[in-house]
Structure 1
């Protein structure tokens, strides 16, 4: 159980490793240049042109930018899915007000039950799980909407529109679930870590004749790169802190239907 909980929050562990590993590597490079037996040989490597750093640095920056874009894109898609769900719920509730009273009340109640089940599913999304109750309520809503009474009360076009909105609800919920189950890809981040190490080494080599200058340069790079990578990593799941996607739009939509 403890291992599974750690696995759910693996991105925090990767963020910790990114910060600690980067600064440990800075210290290790400085030790090699200033105190180790290899210090004299390392000073003999001076002469590498400073623009050389740009080649590896650009590759590192692009890799980090692509990984960050994947993370922000996941958050944007999750947020959009939530607002689309709220709009679909609101649309069906609005159409339900224009049909006969008995079936209207039943449909209104089912929509509210579905919305409440969806909101209650949020803690499970943070655990990369799903709610069986939400799935059951989605099925019950679809079964209700295909009943002949709905066609008689809302007309064929009205029923088709409500069915389309119900299908949109299911698609957006499926999208949320898939985004909540996204894991950190270790290979991508390992590649970025390797490029970060090469960038640190290239910065150090440019200052090979001066260990303190190399320390300052590599430390500045570490201060820029490590926290940035950590920020991207800790936001790997859009349904976990620190930047959780809120169910407030869905909660507000079902509140209008009460």
Structure 2
């Protein structure tokens, strides 16, 4: 978008310079330089409103991912209250859910293609297994109740992060922002039409600011990272052109075995 911004500024510069050499030069003087500060302020407000939505989505994404990671960790810890086959089963289901999410669902989230219509089978099986447990003492009863609550939190956190992954900046906001930037460039060109150096210098400076805003909204690609005692996966979701990028990280403490994830 840097190139497009500079091309538009260059075209405006050439057009206004050509017009200012003719009879329209006197009419350009009717536009007061006092118009430039209000135009800049309005442009800044549009940028602030757009950035506020992006920051809000980022906060929601971080909160949802942290909540999901904590819920999965709680299930793994509480599963030790049912030693033997139930514990192994629950740990295997959580591991399967994490692997499926990081390898399939998060890449879809990066493309805003994730859906809530399909319930992750491992997480659903984990909930059914938890409800089917037969507690033998009060401690196991408490553990079963807490695991059920943690799995419900994981479902809700997943729903939140999928919804955030499809969030985008309203096209109307982008249209207003682009129109306001164009008007500001045009006003700068007209006000400084009799000063070739002034019009060029101010137009390029404005383009630098607008291009910086565009580059801040570029979208990185998702990446996965592992650590010795935890599963760490990063998904940076965003939207090219009319959408803004968001970066998400989930950490569920699950031991690794060899070079693959294992519980």
Structures share fold, TM-score greater than 0.5: yes
Aligned length: 239
Contact 1:43–1:210 (CA under 8 A) maintained in structure 2: no
Distance 1:245 1:220, change over 3 A: closer
Structure 1 residue 209 displacement after superposition: 2.4
Structure 1: runs of 5 or more not aligned: 1-15
Mapping for residues 1-258 of structure 1, pairs under 5 Å: 16=1, 19-36=2-19, 39-46=22-29, 48-120=31-103, 121-130=105-114, 135-149=120-134, 154-234=139-219, 238-239=236-237, 245=247, 247=249, 249-250=251-252, 253-255=253-255, 258=263
Give the aligned CA root-mean-square deviation in angstroms.
Answer: 3.1
Contact 1:33–1:42 (CA under 8 A) maintained in structure 2: no
Residues 98-130 of structure 1: CA deviation (Å, up to 9, x unaligned): 234332222222222222222222222223233
**Structure number with higher helix proportion:** 1
Contact 2:28–2:190 (CA under 8 A) maintained in structure 1: yes
Q: Distance in 1 between matches of 2:136 and 2:101?
A: 26
Contact 1:200–1:221 (CA under 8 A) maintained in structure 2: yes
Structure 1 residue 37 displacement after superposition: 7.5
Distance 1:207 1:89, change over 3 A: same
2:232 corresponds to: none
**Structure number with higher strand proportion:** 2
Residues 19-68 of structure 1: CA deviation (Å, up to 9, x unaligned): 34432321122112222487441354226443321111111111112212
Q: Distance in 2 between matches of 1:48 and 1:199?
A: 13
Distance 1:136 1:157, change over 3 A: same
1:4 corresponds to: none
Contact 1:83–1:249 (CA under 8 A) maintained in structure 2: yes
1:10 corresponds to: none
Structure 2: runs of 5 or more not aligned: 222-234, 257-261
